[in-house]
Every structure is written in structure tokens, then in C-alpha cells.
Amino acid sequence: MSRSQVAALAALSALLAALFAGRAAQAQDAGGAHYLSAQEITARLAKPVDGTVNFALPTGPGVTVLAARRDTAGAVEVHKVLHDEFIVQSGHATVTVGGQLTGAREAWPGEWRGGAIAGGARFDLGPGDTLWIPAGQPHQVTPTGGAPFVYIAVKFPAQP
């Protein structure tokens, strides 16, 4: 992991601690900072469409941070140039990573959706767990246990 990725992850950790604890520093001049309350995040996550919801959280250039909720299995995904880091907030899911991808379609350049994974490793995730998924690896999130699976997905560009 590069220094910029480590710095971004450290900044993200601080942001997540503030967001999910419901606290944020109040300042007259925010200097470009963007605050999103835990209440607003919870409200947005409460409205899934077709069993899923995700939206971008405030971040800097080069990194995407999504708050995500899955009530049903998501489509298989492959990101050619992005690594994923999942940080579980609540619920449980089995995430299948790797294996042989069949039947996917290129949704947009470098991004594939759908199809199926044959083989691969299965990870059972719960609150507090993290999972790093390297760029180019097929993966699928399947909630388990009957409750919504809520997590933060951090997307980092793969280095050439």
C-alpha cells in the first residue's frame, strides 16, 4: 500500500469514527470540509431499491468512499482498475472473491456486472470486519442472517 493510500485510510478512519459516533467538529470556516451526520447517513441507508442502496461519502481526489446496504445478494462485480476495501458496520454477509467469472457484461469501460463465479474464496463478514479485494477479482456480496448488511466500501485506484 502506498503512502498516499495509508494517509487516505488514516483520514477515512478518523472520518468514519466521527460519522458513526455522531460527532463532528464545528467550525466557522470549514475550509472545504463536508459534514454528513450519522442521522443523514442512516436515513439514506433506510431506503433500499431492489434490496440495495449506496451513495458516496465525502472524500478527496483519487479515492471513492461509499456507504452501502444490501438486503439481497448483489450482482457479481469486477473492477479492472480499482481495489475495494469493505468495512462492516452491521449485519452479516458471505463475500465470494476470485474464481472463474462467466456470463458477465461490461457495464462501462473496466467495470463488469452480472454472471456467476465458479469457485473462489468465501469470507463470512460481520460487524468490525474488513476485507480487501484486489482490482480485477470478481466478487459478490450475499447478506446472511436475515438482517441488512451495512458496510463502507473504499475504492482505491490500482497502481500500474
Q: What is the pLDDT of residue 121?
A: 95
Q: What is the pLDDT of residue 47?
A: 82
Query: Is 23 contained in some domain?
Result: no
Please identify which residue in the block is written with the cell numbers 442502496. 53
Please identify which residue in the block is written with the cell numbers 439481497. 72
Q: Please tell me the pTM assigned to this model.
A: 0.72
Query: Is 7 contained in some domain?
Result: no
Query: Is 1 contained in some domain?
Result: no
H/E stretch holding 21 reads: helix 3-21
Tell me the CATH number at 82: 2.60.120.10
User: If you ran DSSP here, which 8-state letter would residue 91 be given?
Assistant: S
Query: Is 77 contained in some domain?
Result: yes
Query: Is 16 contained in some domain?
Result: no
Residue 133 corresponds to which cell in the numbers above? 479485494
Residue 144's pLDDT band, with cuts at 50, 70 and 90, is very high
d(CA 27, CA 21): 18
Q: Which residue range forms the structural domain that includes residue 143?
A: 48-157
Rg (CA), the chain: 16
Give the DSSP per-residue string, 56-122: EEP--TT-EEEEEEESSPPPPEEESSEEEEEEEEESEEEEEESSEEES-EEEETTEEE-SEEES-EE
Query: Is 41 contained in some domain?
Result: no
Q: What is the pLDDT of residue 160?
A: 63
d(CA 160, CA 156): 12
For 36-79, write each residue's pLDDT tens digit: 788 888 888 888 888 778 777 777 778 889 999 999 999 999 99
Residue 22's pLDDT band, with cuts at 50, 70 and 90, is very low
> For the chain, how many structural domains are there in total?
1
Taking every pair of Cα atoms in the chain, the longest distance, rounded to a whole number of angstroms, is 54
Query: Is 73 contained in some domain?
Result: yes
Query: Is 58 contained in some domain?
Result: yes
Mean pLDDT of 21-49: 68
Q: What is the pLDDT of residue 7?
A: 39
